[in-house]
């Protein structure tokens, strides 16, 4: 067995999270970044909410008005000819996409890595013009005495990557957009390599080219260059549709170990691993010949958007690697494995 799922899974469900507003309901608590802070395991959850008063015959998009700071609701009837509904996460109105929920980031804390206490209020809430559709899928990288958080920012301007930093997980400084549309799944390496910061990114080509993991370099974590493709989808395989970075790379004697996600042409999401050269992460030494994890349980197969295991964070505890992952875009779950077991999937 490559991974051992927690018997307590899902460890965080939408009903475990207090809504940020009385008129909202939480529909997802998932895709959490993970780190160790002051002796506790800390998750930074993506919490997706929608209005409670949504009728069965309508679509509702909660959208931040950045000028007033208020969340406003755009409503459209399902039978309106201008409405097109591709899945539960979004709808189109006159060709313009709208999301059916809006996400913020929320902290959960644990002593044992399994049982979490969830803060009552958001840690980071939509605030700017580039966050009007929400904040999603954070990854936490500790570099020195600071924690840097890459997160997906969504608005009618597109899907970008923003950067936060914190020293105490109480105050978060926004550093703005570091990768413009459409670029997501950005993961920062935990130390400088040959005098530069490194990141794994996922630009999304519209016409030509695969949906692949790229590498980028920076002197200051804000301005990035040296972009190059690193890991591409493998046609016909479990990761043949698209690939993206998941967890912060782990430094080993053999190289940087990256847990990534890959989907097939049916949009079924699995987890796998790749080994990058220590001095030049653009060079991939080895890659999983089989999935590290794939949707198998009810909570991974059925949900808000089924057939998904999608990780944004891991921690190392007692000689094991704990992977925290989103299940079906709804729950947070956990699984234990070891470095040796991950390495054994590589070829």
Q: What is the pLDDT of residues 307-316, one digit of tens each?
A: 999 999 999 9
pTM to 2 decimal places? 0.96
Work out the angle at residue 300's Cα, subtended by the Cα atoms of residues 310 and 269, and round it to the nearest 5 degrees: 40
Sign of the CA dihedral running 200, 201, 202, 204: negative
d(CA 103, CA 244): 20
Going along the chain from its start, the domains and CATH numbers come out as: 4-343 (2.115.10.20)
CB atoms under 10 Å from CB of 18, counted, come to 14
192: which residues sit within 8 A by CB, 6+ positions away? 198
Whether residue 86 contacts residue 99, with contact meaning beta carbons closer than 8 Å, is answered with no
The predicted structure's pLDDT at residue 225: 98
Distances (CA, A) of 223 to 145, 159, 220, 246: 21, 18, 6, 22
* CB-count burial class (<10 Å; 0-12, 13-18, 19+) for 157: middle
* CB-count burial class (<10 Å; 0-12, 13-18, 19+) for 286: middle
pLDDT (tens place) for every residue of the chain, 347 residues total: 899 999 999 999 999 999 999 999 999 999 999 999 999 999 999 999 999 999 999 999 999 999 999 999 999 999 999 999 998 889 999 999 999 999 999 999 999 999 999 999 999 999 999 999 999 999 999 999 999 999 999 999 999 999 999 999 999 999 999 999 999 999 999 999 999 999 999 999 999 999 999 999 999 999 999 999 999 999 999 999 999 999 999 999 999 999 999 999 999 999 999 999 999 999 999 999 999 999 999 999 998 889 999 999 999 988 899 999 999 999 999 999 999 999 999 99
d(CA 14, CA 224): 36
The predicted structure's pLDDT at residue 310: 97
Whether residue 96 contacts residue 76, with contact meaning beta carbons closer than 8 Å, is answered with no
Which residues are bridge partners to 273 per DSSP? Answer: 259
* CB-count burial class (<10 Å; 0-12, 13-18, 19+) for 7: exposed
**Could you report the per-residue pLDDT of 262-312, keeping only the tens digit for each?**
999 999 999 999 999 999 999 999 999 999 999 999 999 998 889 999 999
């Amino acid at each position: 067995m490559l991974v051992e799922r927690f018997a307590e899974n899902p460890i965080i469900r939408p009903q475990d999270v207090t809504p940020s507003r009385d008129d909202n309901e939480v529909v997802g608590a998932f895709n959490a970044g993970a780190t160790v802070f002051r002796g506790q395991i800390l998750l930074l959850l993506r919490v997706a909410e929608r209005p409670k008063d949504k009728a069965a015959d309508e679509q509702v998009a909660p959208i931040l008005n950045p000028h007033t700071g208020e969340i406003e609701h755009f409503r459209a009837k399902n039978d309106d000819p201008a409405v097109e509904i591709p899945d539960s996460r979004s709808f189109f109105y006159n060709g313009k996409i709208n999301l059916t929920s809006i996400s913020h980031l929320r902290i959960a804390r644990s002593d044992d890595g399994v049982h979490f206490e969830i803060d009552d209020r958001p840690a980071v809430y939509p605030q700017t013009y580039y966050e009007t559709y929400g904040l999603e899928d954070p990854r936490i990288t500790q570099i020195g005495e600071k924690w840097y958080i890459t997160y997906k920012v969504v608005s009618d301007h597109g899907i970008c990557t923003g950067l936060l930093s914190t020293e105490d997980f109480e105050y978060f400084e926004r550093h703005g957009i570091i990768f413009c549309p459409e670029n997501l799944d950005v993961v920062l390496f935990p130390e400088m390599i040959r005098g530069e910061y490194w990141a794994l990114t996922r630009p999304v080509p519209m016409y030509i080219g695969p949906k692949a993991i790229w590498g980028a370099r920076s002197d200051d974590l804000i301005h990035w260059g040296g972009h190059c493709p690193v890991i591409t989808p493998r046609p016909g395989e479990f990761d043949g549709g698209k690939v993206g970075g998941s967890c912060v790379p782990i430094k080993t004697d053999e190289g940087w170990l990256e847990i990534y996600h890959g989907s097939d042409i049916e949009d079924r999401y699995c987890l796998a691993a790749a080994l990058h050269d220590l001095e030049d992460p653009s060079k991939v030494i080895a890659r999983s010949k089989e999935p590290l994890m794939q949707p198998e349980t009810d909570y991974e197969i059925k949900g808000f958007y089924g057939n998904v295991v999608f990780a944004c964070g891991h921690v190392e505890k007692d000689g094991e690697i704990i992977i925290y992952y989103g299940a079906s875009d709804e729950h947070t779950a956990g699984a234990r494995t070891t470095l040796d077991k991950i390495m054994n999937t590589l070829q």
